[in-house]
């Protein structure tokens, strides 16, 4: 008899199993895929760790969380500094003095701020002329936060590709704020700690699940473990929330991502790990060049080939992987009904992005599980 049957070997399930084992609790982890690690799984191609399910960058301000993962596997010094490509012109992200220089040629924070305020005022004045006091949609919200140039070149079309909807169809609350930095700083995250496990995320998952019973190719809903009380005292469920309840109230909507990954016969394809393509003329949202997460300086050229992934954001359909909750009013109401059912389940813990219908970065998942113990 196990103490916990854990459905899913992604970060929530793996950290939970690790913490339970530290308290001498027996766990069984089951995973429907052929590999452990959920979406942080990496494949080795041409000596490069390829993030099979999209780029994962660990970042946190919580020293306890940073120390926890680094005690399992050392992390490197990767700093996320994405580039935006709009009709062939390049802009630094997040919005900072480099971006404003590239956009307008301004060289001082005062000049950049004045330009942004001028364009914000134009957006507010246009709304007032239409007797509108609050942004009615994402487009109006974005224009009021950063003005026309930044919104139209770096946000509008990229967001429409991500969501499959026009910005004036999307609710304003999706972007409550847009960070504007009046310093020359391309570091995307404000967190004190940031990096990638040396040797890839599989090292982290292997360390978390060391000496824990795990079964791959095992679908909870189509296996003997559906009757989980025969095997464990408690269930930890990290799969889709609506599926657990057999879609009683209907299906929750998701966005998903598909990848076209290929080997390029060059040591350095784009010079950066992440390049966003922010216009509709390019069908994918971004290109990831995986070697730049772990190879720096001359090491980039020691590896003669490179691997890139084009990312395409699409509507979720059966058979695809659910990635992002669609946090509109309809889905939030439906998710809440399922959460109320979940609260009534006895000896069942629902955790992680799918089971909570909530987007998580990696560090908050680790932090949440640590706090549970």
Active site residues: 177, 181, 255, 286, 311, 359, 361
CA 69 to chain centre: 18
Ramachandran category for residue 319: left, alpha or beta (phi over 0 → left; psi -120 to 50 → alpha): left
Give, in order, the Cα–Cα distances in Å from 142 to each of 135, 153, 264: 9, 12, 37
Residue spans of beta strands (DSSP E) within 238-352: 254-264, 274-277, 286-289, 306-315, 324-325, 348-350
166 alpha-carbon distance from chain centroid = 22
d(CA 47, CA 327): 38
Buried b (16+ CB within 10 A) or exposed e, 55-78: bbbbbbebeebbebbeebbebeeb
Q: How far apart are CA 346 and CA 336, in angstroms?
A: 18
Task: For residues 57 and 162, give the distance between their C-alpha atoms in angstroms, rounded to a whole number.
Answer: 19
Packing angle of the helix pair 138-146, 109-129 (nearest 10 deg): 140
């Amino acid at each position: 008899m196990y103490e916990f049957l854990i459905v899913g070997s992604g970060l929530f399930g793996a950290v939970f199993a690790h913490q339970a084992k530290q308290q001498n609790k027996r766990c069984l982890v089951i995973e429907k895929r052929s590999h452990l690690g959920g979406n942080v799984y990496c494949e080795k191609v041409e000596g490069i760790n390829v993030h099979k399910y999209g780029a994962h960058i660990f970042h946190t301000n919580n020293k306890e969380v940073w120390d926890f993962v680094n005690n399992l596997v050392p992390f490197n010094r990767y700093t996320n500094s994405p580039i935006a490509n709009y009709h062939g012109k390049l802009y630094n992200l997040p919005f900072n003095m480099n971006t404003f220089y590239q956009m307008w040629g301004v060289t001082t924070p005062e000049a950049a701020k004045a330009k942004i305020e001028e364009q914000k005022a134009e957006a507010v004045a246009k709304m007032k002329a239409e007797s509108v006091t609050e942004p009615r949609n994402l487009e109006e919200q974005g224009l009021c936060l950063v003005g026309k140039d930044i919104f139209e070149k770096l946000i509008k079309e990229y967001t429409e590709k991500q969501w499959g909807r026009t910005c004036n169809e999307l609710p304003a609350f999706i972007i409550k704020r847009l960070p504007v930095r009046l310093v020359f700083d391309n570091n995307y995250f404000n967190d004190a700690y940031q990096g990638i496990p040396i040797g890839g995320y599989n090292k982290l998952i292997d360390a978390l699940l060391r000496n824990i019973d795990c079964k791959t190719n095992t679908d909870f809903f189509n296996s003997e473990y559906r009757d989980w009380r025969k095997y464990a005292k408690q269930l930890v469920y990290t799969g889709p929330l609506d599926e657990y309840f057999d879609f009683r109230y209907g299906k929750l909507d998701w966005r998903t991502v598909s990848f076209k990954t290929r080997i390029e016969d060059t040591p350095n394809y784009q010079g950066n790990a992440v390049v966003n393509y922010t216009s509709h003329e390019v069908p994918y949202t971004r290109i990831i060049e995986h070697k730049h997460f772990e190879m720096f300086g001359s090491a980039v050229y020691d590896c003669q080939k490179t691997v890139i992934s084009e990312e395409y954001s699409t509507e979720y359909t059966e058979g695809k992987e659910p990635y992002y909750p669609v946090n509109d009013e309809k889905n939030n109401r439906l998710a809440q009904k399922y959460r109320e059912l979940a609260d009534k389940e006895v000896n069942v813990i629902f955790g992680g992005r799918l089971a909570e219908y909530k987007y998580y970065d990696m560090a908050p998942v680790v932090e949440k599980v640590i706090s549970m113990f």
